[in-house]
A and B are shown apart, each in its own frame.
Chain A
Amino acid sequence: MQKVIETSGICKKFGTTTALDNISFSVNESEVFGFIGPDGAGKTTLMRVITTLLLPDSGEIEVLGKNCRTGYKELRKEIGYMPGRFSLYQDLSVEENLEFYATVFGTTVKENYHLISDIYSHIEPFRKRLAGQLSGGMKQKLALSCALIHKPKLLVLDEPTTGVDAVSRSEFWDMLGKLRKNNITILVSTPYMDEAMRCDRVALIQNGKILAINTPQSIKNDFSSKLFSIKSREKYKLILALRSFSETNTSYPFGENVHVTFKDNILPPSLKGYLTDYGVDDAVISESEAGIEDRFLELMQT
């Protein structure tokens, strides 16, 4: 299968800060590839390198078979980019923005309307409204429409769901799923671990380094120890208790629960008594399946 993105050993420094440290990965055609990592991990920098906005200090990168240094002019015609910050003209209307981006890419709205019809139809009733006056979810749909209007082969989305409500986020991922059928490769970054499951493959990224690349399922399966989920009304006390417990390996809050691993990979029989002594007497302990986040935290430790 043809590789859409192929990179090896990309490094990028800003002053003394290393934003990207020896990044190597490849993305296949028609894949939804996710970069998962916390804020400041280097996701945006990487996105900018891929979209030819930044040149890496060292390392090779080829996108759609073109070198970023020599082929960037050709490349820009084939990439659709949606920056993390809303970057359309707020003082132009929905319609004007879409027409503008169609024109600068040398195409027309009509020609590629079929690509965006699903997304654009949601905001079409507001096409005379200024982009600055749209709601967050609608802005996001407009930005996606504008990034798609020139029929890009690669769509790069930098934290598209940050600051968007849960329903819109889910809708957004449904839209991405449909786009894939049009042979568009999608590269998306997100700080939300739960969104990783909707990608074909993900790369976990932290401090400018890639910790792991795999399908979300394999990443979960790579979790090396037995994971227990403990629930109590006294969550804070529970965490303190677990951290002071001698058999505890790791313990992290996870939603309402606390995810814990133990040194010998078994549930220590003395735990229940220890917790009761500590003042946590309603603890419910169950074995749990590891999520992406658990694996991420595990990787961060090693």
Chain B
Amino acid sequence: MRTIIYLIRKEFIQIFRNKFISKAIFAVPIVQMLILVPAITFELKNANVVIIDKDLTPESRGLISKLAGSTFFRISGTTFSVKEAENMMLHNKCGIILHIPVEFGKNIGSGKPARLQASIDAINSSSAQLSWAYINGIIRDYNTEISIENINTTQISSFPMIDITNRYWYNEELNYKFYMLPGILVILVTAIGFLLAGLNMVREKEIGTIEQINVTPVRKHQFIIGKMVPFLIIGLIDLGIGLLIGWLAFSIPFEGSILLMFLGATIFLIAVLGLALFISTFSGSQQQYMFVAFFCMIIFILMSGIFTPYESMPQWAQDFNMINPVAYLMRINRMVMLKGSSISDISAELISLSVIAVSFTSLAVRRYRKTA
């Protein structure tokens, strides 16, 4: 025990003596939260629309002003030439072309179906779908309005209609920041766990200090624990800083128990540190380690469900996520922060994460050789 405490103490002395690392571990969470949380958003704002209004009637103008009045769209130009409009889309001047043909107004007036054409740049399929959904909504609204205008009030009461009222649970305003922030916190903790400890271990190999350690009676598990605990503590401190920024800068709600979130993060960090130290046992240089660790990190983060819903991944990807610690923490963080889940709600995640943590750590201890 005395040995472990001394190993940890040594590690902390070295970390805080390194002028860059000692500052970076506090700067990274601040910068990452302040930049990534507001920057990563799927919300549609100010999408550029080019209008080809060949109709020029009160009806067509009414639709255009409705479009311009929404926060989602910005009318970036009008033209009569289809070719010019297409050119503008080709040069990224606009993402949507709304073509209102002649006789649009006339058809509405005479009760015939009126036609419209919306062309959407689908380079980014998710933003194209969003644009389409919003445009569709505006046109539908407009459609209802003119129907009401044209039908007299006595008829409308008997007009069969389904009235849908939405309520978005756990994030009522669909604030994208609330969705991303718990995820960004996971990335933060992952980076700390993955990079610092592993690189530290490989550095000992590179500069040869490990050879001197290996001839001492220090046990393998003592050495691994001595490498894990300091970075576990740093990871948790960074999580705390990240949460504090979320609360101060973005007034993110915190429904559940902070302790529960830290419990999840602790188990997660043990898993990630175990994997990182396992990788470091067969890496000969920091360069080699970085390459492998970066590869693992990207896969883990992108498959974790940070951007895309977990449920819409193919089955094999969902199966892979059984061993992806990042996926578990992603769910735990969102459930605890936004939903206020209790320990029994996330017990399955916590148990799986614990199994991963124990497996990776024992792999690291087993694979670490106290020989040259």
Contact = CB atoms under 8 A, between A and B. Distances in A.
Interface stretch (A79-87, A121-129, A237-245): A79-87
Interface in A78-97: 79, 81, 83, 85-92, 96
A83 B211 contact: yes
A166 B274 CA distance: 47
B3 interface: yes
Interface string A44-81: 00001001111100000000000000000100110101
A97 to B, nearest CB: 9
Nearest to A90: B207
B287 interface: no
Contact of B211 (A87, A89, A100, A101): A87
Contacts of A54: 371-372
B212 A83 contact: yes
A15 interface: no
A76 B3 CA distance: 15
Contact of A96 (B2, B7, B10): B10
B213 A104 contact: yes
B215 A89 contact: no
The DSSP consensus for interface residues of chain B is helix
B160 interface: no
Contact of B10 (A81, A83, A90, A100): A100
Q: How large is the interface on B (under 10, 10 to 19, 20 to 34, 35 or more residues)?
A: 20 to 34
Contact of A79 (B14, B211, B215, B218): B215
A157 to B, nearest CB: 12
B13 A104 contact: no
27 contacts: A53-B370, A73-B217, A76-B215, A76-B216, A77-B217, A81-B212, A81-B215, A83-B211, A85-B208, A85-B211, A86-B208, A87-B209, A87-B212, A91-B14, A91-B18, A92-B10, A92-B17, A96-B10, A100-B6, A101-B212, A101-B216, A103-B6, A104-B216, A104-B218, A105-B217, A106-B2, A146-B212
Interface of A: 48, 51-55, 73, 76-77, 79, 81, 83, 85-92, 96, 100-101, 103-106, 146
Given A53-B211, A92-B10, 5 more contacts: A53-B370, A76-B217, A83-B211, A89-B14, A103-B2
